[in-house]
Amino acid sequence: MISRRQMLALVAITLMWGINWPMMKLSLREITPLYFRAITMTCGALWLYVFYRARGLRMLPVGTEWRSVITLGIPNMLGWHTASILGVKELASGRASILGFTMPIWTVLIGVLFLGETLTRRVAFAAAAVAVAIALLTSTEFTALSGHPLGIVWMELAALLWALGTLMLRRAHLTLPVETLTVWMMMLASVCLWGIAWMSEPWPSWRFSAAMWTSLAYGAFVNYGFAQVIWSGLARNLPPTTSAMSIMAVPMVGTLAATVIVGEWPHWQDFVAIVFVMAAIAAVLLPSRQPKPLTPSA
């Protein structure tokens, strides 16, 4: 049974993750995407390092643990955060959040296609539902005068990388705390982002508006800071059903918050796509009493 404190924490982290999408879009009005990621991820990693170090966690990987940091950090941190911010640059932030949170479905599909996991009716339904959602959003991006279909490609690449990283993390034999792993994945990814940004984007002017500084602070200390701390505490104790419901709510929060924060008004396709994505996430994450394998007919 989930406690009142856990429920409040779950609501808080869902709001943090959802609001972060339009906050990123707000930042991109005054800064290029990769420098935005480099700044916020660096500050967030340092904040987490100090916080966890003060709590007595071992914060320095040793020996082969560095291999885990690098191999898991490439898809989970560098890949997801680079591709997703490029997607946010091209798309409405609410739409980007919908596409990004197709990750759980890709995780299951990769397992079925490449890892020998069973194709169930739920997985087949989830794949079909996500296909419908992507088709709805793609149709709008191709037909609108200001459409950016490349943003859909970036967001689905981000979701695929996140899914791949999740599968790798599940199969990893870790000897260091997950919090330590997260901090060092963020640190190494931020170093790479600084390098890529320096080679491909103009140096920031640093003459930002108050709203911009607020958005940077939100990305660094709320999205990469407080939200990570809360989730680390919840992940050990929450039942899978509750975690799934939180993930399902993030795109809705992001879409609605975008209207207030950046003035993005969603189309009917966005709301229908949210319903399909939420249904797909529910299909693959919520527990089933008797999963039935779906086998091809002869």
How does pLDDT run across 202-228, given as a tens digit for each residue?
999 999 999 999 999 999 999 999 998
Grade residue 294 by pLDDT with cuts at 50, 70 and 90.
very low
Please state the domain count of the chain: 1
**Alpha-carbon span 88 to 86, nearest angstrom:** 5
In a domain, 298, yes or no: no
CB atoms within 10 A of CB 235: 10
In this structure, is residue 210 part of a structural domain? yes
The pTM assigned to this predicted structure is: 0.87
Res. 233: pLDDT tops 80: no
Distance separating alpha carbons of residues 14 and 147, to the nearest angstrom: 28
pLDDT category, 2, cuts 50, 70, 90? Answer: low
| 297 is a domain residue | no
Mean pLDDT lowest among 52-61, 193-202, 232-241, 248-257: 232-241
Contact 51, 6 (CB under 8 A): no
The one-letter amino acid at 45? A
User: In angstroms, rounded to a whole number, what is the distance separating the alpha carbons of residues 254 and 16?
Assistant: 9
The answer to whether position 295 is within a domain reads: no
Residue 291 forms part of a structural domain? no
Query: Which pair of tokens denotes residue 141?
Result: 């991006």
**Predicted local distance difference test score (pLDDT) of residue 7:** 80
CB 284 within 8 A of CB 123: yes
Q: What does the buried/exposed string (b/e) look like for 54-70 if buried means 16 or more CB atoms within 10 Å of the residue's CB?
A: eeeeebebeeebeebbe
**pLDDT over threshold 70, residue 31:** yes
pLDDT of residue 1: 61
User: Is residue 67 in a domain?
Assistant: yes
Residue 170 in this model has a pLDDT that exceeds 80: yes
- pLDDT exceeding 70 applies to what percent of the chain? 88
- Answer yes or no: is pLDDT of 296 > 70: no
Confidence label for 291 from pLDDT (cuts 50, 70 and 90): very low
Average pLDDT (2-28) is: 89
- The mean-pLDDT minimum among 102-106, 143-147, 175-179 falls in 143-147
Q: Among candidates 276, 266, 277, which has minimal Cα distance to 140?
A: 266
Residue range 71-93: mean pLDDT, rounded: 95
Residue 269 pLDDT greater than 80, yes or no: yes
Residue 120 DSSP SS3: strand
DSSP state of 116: -
Give the model's pLDDT for residue 297: 43
Domain that holds residue 181: 4-285
Q: Is residue 290, in this structure, part of any structural domain at all?
A: no
Q: Is 99 within the bounds of a domain?
A: yes
According to the model, what pLDDT value does residue 242 have? Answer: 60
Mean pLDDT for the chain overall:
87
Which of residues 113 and 196 earns the better pLDDT score? Answer: 196
Query: Which residues lie closer than 8 Å to 80 by C-beta, 6 or more apart?
Result: 158, 161, 162, 165
- Tell me which of 129 and 157 has the higher pLDDT: 157
Residues 6+ apart with CB under 8 A from 134: 99, 102, 152, 156, 273
Q: What are the residues whose beta carbons fall under 8 Å from the beta carbon of 45, sequence distance 6 or more?
A: 183, 186, 187, 190, 224
C-alpha 118/C-alpha 99 separation (Å) is 25
